[in-house]
Structure 1
Amino acid sequence: MTTNRTLYLIACAAPPARRLSVPIKAAQQAGWDVCLILTPSAHRWLTEDAEGEMEALEQLTGHPVRHQYKLPSQPDVLPPPDAMLVAPLTNNTLAKWATAVSDTLALGLITEGIALVPIIALPHFNDAQAAHPAVQRHVDFLREAGVTVLLGEGGFTPHKPKHGNLDAYPWQAAIDALPA
């Protein structure tokens, strides 16, 4: 399929990050050229725990997988995005994003991205984390800023600690929420 739209898939270190080929293939089927950006912890998971995974993801996307800021003298290796999908979105990244912390490439892109492109966020955290009073404030803040946060009905529903079902993660809901 020929694509002319670029999607940045920004993945945090949560269990669904072990299955990034699922959303990449689904987005490609929907006509997106997918570029993968990882948080530093997600990058560590995929390079230390899953031998050959990084190379497979680069082959699947046709782009280098990024996880850190480039030097000012280095060229951009990815095309500019037309949309961003932040999935899985951890509680840690949610809190930093909602308070404009940009200490990683992933956070820098999504913090700036609010003003530039449509952003869909699909969280993944347990119900004990979700119960913290700041979490709902952060979700509300990002929604008010125009981010589509798929938390609750039609998106991700937090699970009991250590009882997540990796096969139930709603990747397709996020792909379906991308702009047409």
Structure 2
Amino acid sequence: MSRRVLYLFGSAASPVHEFPDVVRRAQESGFDVCVGLTPTAARWLADDTAALEDLTGRPVRSEYKWPGEADAWPPADVILFAPATFNAINSWALGLTNHFVIGVVAEGIGNGIPMLAMPCVNAAYVQHPQFDLSIETLRGAGVSVLYGPGGFEPNQPGERRREGYPWHLALNAVNESVAGPS
């Protein structure tokens, strides 16, 4: 039986540094994991890229491939975009595909790929009126956005959650999204 393919995408928020552990946990749940990063997140994880590639057996991507170039990843069964910053959520909802991961998730809506997003934003950012509109837009397009009670809840600027980023919620939701009928 082939393993389900999870695209694990992250943007530049502190929890992206936890990707090696998140990849391992997803692999333990039976996923073949492909890691994609926004350009800033890729710079943040530059020292971890080789280890992530060894762990996944696939290149870490942050840029579009050249036209005609073969894809180094198999097709996704599910995409998890976490942590998704204020900029990433708004860019995705507005269809601003200047970054590889935003392009993939924007196109994923039209391809019917199950997608989940878990923001990582502070309480000041969420006061901007575009943020709620973007969450509503993504949910309306079929994206499962883990935000609010039962998902990510914003913290004050500069604060970290004592309990950490709720990766367990994201990984549980990924498993549920691809589980067959019981």
Q: TM-score range by the shorter chain?
A: over 0.9
1:45 corresponding residue in structure 2: 44
Task: Give RMSD over aligned pairs.
Answer: 1.3
TM-score by length of 2: 0.92
1:134 equivalent in alignment to 2:130: yes
> Hey, what's the Cα distance between the residues in 2 that align with 1:61 and 1:96?
27
Show structure 1 runs of 4+ deviating over 3 A: none
1:26-175 equivalences in 2 (<5 Å): 26-47=25-46, 51=47, 53-116=48-111, 117-165=113-161, 168-175=164-171
Offset, 1:167: 5.1
> Hey, what's the Cα distance between the residues in 1 that align with 2:75 and 2:162?
30
Corresponding residue SS for 1:168: coil
What one-letter code is carried by the residue in structure 2 that aligns with 1:87? A
How has the CA–CA distance of structure 1 residues 166 and 110 changed in structure 2, closer, same or farther, with 3 Å as cutoff? farther
> Hey, what's the Cα distance between the residues in 2 that align with 1:107 and 1:153?
25
1:18 equivalent in alignment to 2:17: yes
Offset, 1:4: 2.3
8 A contact 1:89–1:123 mirrored in 2 = yes
Offset, 1:172: 1.1
> Hey, what's the Cα distance between the residues in 2 that align with 1:161 and 1:3?
43
Greater shift, 68-77 or 9-18, is seen at 68-77
Give the gaps of 5 or more residues in structure 2: none
Give the gaps of 5 or more residues in structure 1: none
What one-letter code is carried by the residue in structure 2 that aligns with 1:107? I
What one-letter code is carried by the residue in structure 1 that aligns with 2:148? G
Offset, 1:3: 4.4
8 A contact 1:10–1:85 mirrored in 2 = yes
What one-letter code is carried by the residue in structure 1 that aligns with 2:21? V
Offset, 1:115: 2.1
> Hey, what's the Cα distance between the residues in 1 that align with 2:3 and 2:43?
31
Corresponding residue SS for 1:114: helix
Corresponding residue SS for 2:41: helix
